[in-house]
Amino acid sequence: MTEHSEAQTAAGAGPGGAAIRPFRIDVPQADLDDLRDRLARTRWPDELAGVGWAYGVPLGYLKELAEYWRTSYDWRRHEAGLNQLPHFITTIDGADVHFLHVRSPEPEALPLVMTHGWPGSIVEFLDVIGPLTDPRAAGADPADAFHLVCPTIPGYAFSGPTRDTGWGVRRVAGAVAVLMDRLGYGRYGAQGGDWGAAVARELGTAHPDRVVGVHVTLLTSRPPDDPAELAALTDAERERLGDGRRFEAEMSGYGRIQGTRPQTLAYGLTDSPAGQLAWIVEKFREWTDSAEVPEDAVDRDRLLTNVMLYWLTATAGSSARLYYETAHSGERARRMRNPTATGVAVFPKEIVRAVRPLAERTDNIVHWSEFDRGGHFAAMEEPDLLVGDIREFFRRFR
């Protein structure tokens, strides 16, 4: 690993000479006033009686949440909390890339890049940053410490909007690799869920000489074409394939729209905060280990802070373009085997749960964990479980 200097980063010069600039969140008050005004003037649709969540987010639930957002949620408090973390921004491949860079107090800590997905953000990681970077303070083994880099995907929040086409997973992963090089990390781990899992996997595939291990919470596999291979799976594994089919049939509409006409969608989500809220909160209800409402699994203010990063930066459209670019690049059809040692953490309410025999066809699986609670947003829902699994997986590479 190239020696890293905190003074160097603070001064704005990375090892490769490219500018790394300190970044601070400072939202103009006019933007907050505009948000409250728009929420107060929301034109609400009608609703069928007695259908619950079957047709989408219920009207009564969204009205109450939007009113809380308008009158009770305190952005300035959460903005101040976010600004307690070290934020930076740099330009890579023509795009601004925002990131958190939290150095561990342990000098021998292992660098780890954690990447979020959609509809997430760096807000997903707020409860895991401390335990991962400073396990000693959490009463854990300091040998498990990480230097943490949490990039915002180009096109999302403070890394958006992107200004040109082609920002699919491979280009995003390429930018993350440049970022890690720019920070002086020649050897590091990669972790993520959702799109972040795809980015982590791509890093392991493209840079096996630098990425020591890949840890993911989402790993999809195609069902086997061979009937004998399908028959060899357990009943539980075949049930997971059924979950995948149900997801495609009932819950993938958002992805089809974002993967085909993201610009058309962007007009509504960028103009209406209630629309942006509904578009995101639906996923937190469907993809989390929640009983009735998303707040059963994720703190309400934390959920709204995540929504705020999309709303305040007007990146609903540019974040959705990741679906379009990846779908139209042929990347998924050309999926290559990942040779880097890979760990998989399976949470029961994940949108598609991994099937190990199928995962082993495409990835070098050396670690596999099954948990009895938690869902798609593991770092927010079950931070202790995720932290423990990340620590356990990466111990072999220190």
> Tell me, what DSSP letter sits at residue 186?
S
Which is catalytic among the residues 87, 181, 376, 389?
376
For residues 367 and 230, the model is more confident at 367
Q: How confident is the model at residue 336 (pLDDT cuts 50, 70, 90)?
A: confident
**Paired tokens of 74:** 């305190």
In this structure, are strands 188-192 and 338-346 parallel, antiparallel, or unpaired?
unpaired
Question: Tokens representing 125?
Answer: 């990681």
pLDDT level of residue 10 (50, 70, 90 thresholds):
very low
SS3 101: strand
pLDDT of amino acid 4: 39
Cα dihedral value 214, 219, 220, 226, nearest 10:
70
* pTM, rounded to two decimals: 0.94
Q: Say how far residue 136 (Cα) sits from the centre of its chain.
A: 26
- For residue 243, the model assigns a pLDDT of 87
Among residues 194, 289, 301, 389, the one annotated as catalytic is 194
Catalytic residue among 73, 156, 185, 323: 323
Q: What is the pLDDT of residue 118?
A: 98
- Taking residues 270-299, report their average pLDDT: 97
Query: In sequence order, what DSSP letters do the residues of 32-69 get, joined into one string?
Result: HHHHHHHHHT-------TT-TTTTSS-HHHHHHHHHHH
Catalytic site includes residue 194: yes
Instruction: Give the pLDDT mean for 100-120.
Output: 98
Nearest-angstrom CA–CA distance, 102 and 104: 6
Residue 140 structure tokens: 């854990």
Query: What value does the mean pLDDT of the chain take?
Result: 94
For residue range 123-181, what is the model confidence (pLDDT) as tens digits? 999 999 999 999 999 999 999 999 999 999 999 999 999 999 999 999 999 999 999 99
pLDDT class for 47, splitting at 50, 70, 90?
Answer: very high
Q: How confident is the model at residue 9 (pLDDT cuts 50, 70, 90)?
A: very low
- Residue 330's pLDDT is 78
Q: What is the pLDDT of residues 216-254, one digit of tens each?
A: 999 988 888 888 889 999 999 999 998 889 999 999 999
